[in-house]
Amino acid sequence: MRNAALTLGLAEAVLDYTSGSFGPALEKIEAFSDGDRGCRACPRGDGIQVARSCSPPSTGKPSHSACRLKAMPQASETTRDGRCACGRASAAVSSCRPAGLPTPPRRWQGIVAAPQKGVPVAVLDAVFAVTLGRAAIHTGDEPQLRRCAAVAQELLGTGTPAVQRHGAWLLALLAMGEGDAAAALAHLCALGKDERLSVLPLFPPDVTDKVPLVRIALAAGDGELARSAMASARERLRLNPDVASIAGTAAHTEGLVTGDTDHLALAVKRFENAPRPLALASALEDAGKAVAWLGNRQEGVALLGRALELYAQAGASWDGSRVRGRLRALGVRRRLAIGAPPQHGW
């Protein structure tokens, strides 16, 4: 009876979560958390831990099980069943988002090896590949970028639709990182032109993904995609009005689409109350660029300087180099040492 109730509760939580109602989903998950000790070794027990590790979007804070995931069985290094894929990918998500960019444990590196032909790829293994790819973009890790690009091509070419979406999104991010917006948009259209409007959200979702999606759309001249992403961010905010990271994302996307510096300033304010330093740095960078373009050089330099400091603290050397370039264009030279990124936690 307990197992049946647990299964039903998790199913209801997943429905809430995938619809974007993160608060109700987390409440259902936490309702079962105290009773999961007896089934830690079973798929349902792992399911609770995985689900709770994905709860930060609903609260702006990590759930305490995000750290517990690090202690899941070492067997996940050598097996490929769905349960262990969940453990690997969730650990990746937990330690790479939303704080800095820790160096992934060495045992994770094998997961980005190109999948063997004919071997199914679990969705959460695809999640892991996207996580490593995004970290490689921020840190400018060229070898890792090449490996992740190869994996993304495999995901796009041989995976299920859910896996293909992860591959398309990672390829789009990689292309945009190289400054090729047209290629990024082409990757988003790989599953069909209309499908570009529904590539996001992935599972588990990163609520800030709408910001790079809007950037791709605007750079590629796809107004429909930009407006769709902005509307989606607004709807997620309607469902979760008290979540700072979601409010920041909604304001950031609207600021990018409309060019309204007030919305960009609001995005900065909201992200200052969320544990997402890279998202805050991104909002500061866009706000600084916008106000400087409007003629307020002093404020622009101050905002860009804050962004540079956050990127440096996170070990995001690629982003830091970009912001230094923006500051040089404004006549300012800033040099900050890129410290070693944190190895543990959020």
Q: How many CB atoms lie within 10 A of CB 239?
A: 16
Separation between Cα atoms, residue 346 and residue 325, nearest integer Å: 29
Better pLDDT: 202 or 207: 207
Angle, vertex CA 21, rays to CA 15 and CA 22, nearest 5 = 95
Would you list the domain boundaries of the chain?
A: 1-64, 101-205, 207-258, 276-335
- The residue type found at 242 is D
Q: Using only C-alpha atoms, what is the Rg of the chain?
A: 20
| Dist. CA 265–CA 255, nearest whole Å | 9
Backbone angles phi, psi at 246, to 5 degrees: -75, -40
pLDDT at residue 56 greater than cutoff 80: no
Structure tokens at 94: 């937990």
Is the predicted pLDDT of residue 74 greater than 60, yes or no? no
Q: What mean pLDDT, rounded, does the chain reach?
A: 77
The predicted model gives 46-53 an average pLDDT of 50
pTM, two decimal places: 0.77
Report which of 243, 253, 323 is spatially closest to residue 58, judged by C-alpha positions: 243
HEC string for 31-71 = HHHCCCHHHCCCHHHHHHHHHHHCCHHHHCCCCCHHHHHHH
pLDDT at 63: 39
Residues in the chain: 346
Q: What is the pLDDT of residues 255-302, one digit of tens each?
A: 999 999 999 999 999 999 998 999 999 999 999 999 999 999 999 999
